[in-house]
Amino acid sequence: MIRLEKRPEPSQAWTYVTPLLAVLATMIAGGMLFAILGKDPFVAIRTIFWDPLFNEQFAAFSRPQLLVKAGPLILIAIGLSLGFRAGIWNIGAEGQYIIGALCGAGVALAFYPLEAVFIFPLMILAGALGGWAWAMIPGLLKTQFNTNEILVSLLLVYVAEQLMASMALGLLRNPDGGGFPGSRNLGDYPAASNEELIAGTGMHWGVVAAFIAVIFAYILLNRHRMGYNIRLAGQAPRAARFAGVNATRLVLFCLGLSGALAGLAGLFEVAGPAGQITIDFNVGYGFTAIIVAFLGRLHPVGILFAGLLMALTYIGGELAQFMLGLPAAAIQAFQGMLLFFLLAGDVLTNYRIRIGRAEVA
């Protein structure tokens, strides 16, 4: 008889080993998936993880893209991780990402074609406030009416997507675009463009913001009273209540900060790599960031490396689609396997496997 026995305390060893085992298991299961699709699994895995960085034929383009893809993932995941640590589950970062992009792009297009130094900082402020305001909807509903923030934040993603489609077809549509949906290209508007800071590296202001967020989150969690409250609320909710932790303030802080960071990610993306608001502007960064947060064990430094790894799967996945003809759905399934194996491995962090009959009391 195989049974699970709860550990007195979570295993620290399994906590750190599980991400590595999850990556290894994902490679094995992903290889089996690629083999079923008629592709050489070893070539597919090499194309995803090795070629973007070390194959000279592709590395010149792929290496800068690593930071471009990792920036929004890290920025969103840092915000989500703070709430997850406190037991506050914001699953709607994708919607906050969209609203941040809409607000930032709206500010830029409102001033078009004015060239002024204050436009881009104003876009940053608008993007952060847009994401914050969208996250405050589930935050206020939870604190005032005890609604489930998981459901509310998730459903608001679909509202944001419809709002984005409406804007791309209406208010923000390019008047010189011949009737096609989509806004003006902000890359052609220097005052609102998030260009590379160092040519050929992929480093732009969104990447800088992601690194700043990592440092900020580390200091907050380890050197600030709010960070202590976050950790206490997640590890021992009853103790947090007895210690006088203000639950309402904690919910609003965590949801607001995660929304603001997601909104910033959307702003930097629309002003940089994406360049414009379109019907299909969002590419799932808000959902993928959930995987990044857990793969990084909700630790700021871990999230930094997890974001780079997940960005590599994006770049390698696109390369595998081009070189090997793999369908996009297979790459998405490959990324989903990572979260599946990570959560499955976390069972061993909290439980031991016992073989034999259970003793009768």
Phi, psi of 71 (to 5 degrees): -50, -60
pLDDT digits 0-9 by tens, 323-342: 999 998 998 899 889 888 98
State how far the Cα of 258 lies from the Cα of 90, in Å rounded to an integer: 8
Question: Crossing angle, helix 225-235 and helix 56-85, to 10 degrees?
Answer: 80
pLDDT of residue 358: 59
Tell me which residues of the chain have a pLDDT lower than 70. 356-361
pLDDT of residue 361: 54
State how far the Cα of 197 lies from the Cα of 233, in Å rounded to an integer: 40
Integer-rounded Cα radius of gyration of the chain = 22
State how far the Cα of 281 lies from the Cα of 186, in Å rounded to an integer: 14
Q: Which residue has the tokens 């991780």?
A: 81
Phi, psi of 352 (to 5 degrees): -100, 150
CB 32 within 8 A of CB 337: no
Sequence-separated (6 or more) residues with CB below 8 Å from residue 140:
252
pLDDT of residue 93: 97
Q: Tokens representing 57? A: 């034929």
Q: Tokens representing 342? A: 């990570």
State how far the Cα of 100 lies from the Cα of 105, in Å rounded to an integer: 8
- Terminal CA-CA length for the chain: 17
CB atoms within 10 A of CB 242: 9
CB 110 within 8 A of CB 132: no
CB 107 within 8 A of CB 277: no
CB 245 within 8 A of CB 229: yes
Tell which residue, 166, 165, 163, 157, has the closest CA to residue 138: 157
Q: Which residue has the tokens 């800068």?
A: 64
Phi, psi of 189 (to 5 degrees): -120, 90
Ordered structural domains, the chain, with CATH: 40-325 (1.10.3470)
The two beta strands, 2-6 and 351-355, are antiparallel
pLDDT of residue 219: 96
SS (H, E, C) 147-193: CCHHHHHHHHHHHHHHHHHHHHHCCCCCCCCCCCCCCCCHHHCHHHC
- C-alpha separations of 325 from 44, 47, 318 in Å: 10, 12, 10
Sequence-separated (6 or more) residues with CB below 8 Å from residue 316:
47, 48, 49, 51, 52
Sequence-separated (6 or more) residues with CB below 8 Å from residue 131:
96, 97, 99, 100, 103, 259, 260, 261, 262, 263, 264, 266
In three-state secondary structure terms, 248 is helix
State how far the Cα of 82 lies from the Cα of 230, in Å rounded to an integer: 7
State how far the Cα of 240 lies from the Cα of 186, in Å rounded to an integer: 46
Strand blocks (E) in the chain: 2-6, 351-355
pLDDT of residue 180: 87
Sequence-separated (6 or more) residues with CB below 8 Å from residue 29:
337, 341
pLDDT digits 0-9 by tens, 266-290: 999 999 999 899 998 888 899 999 9
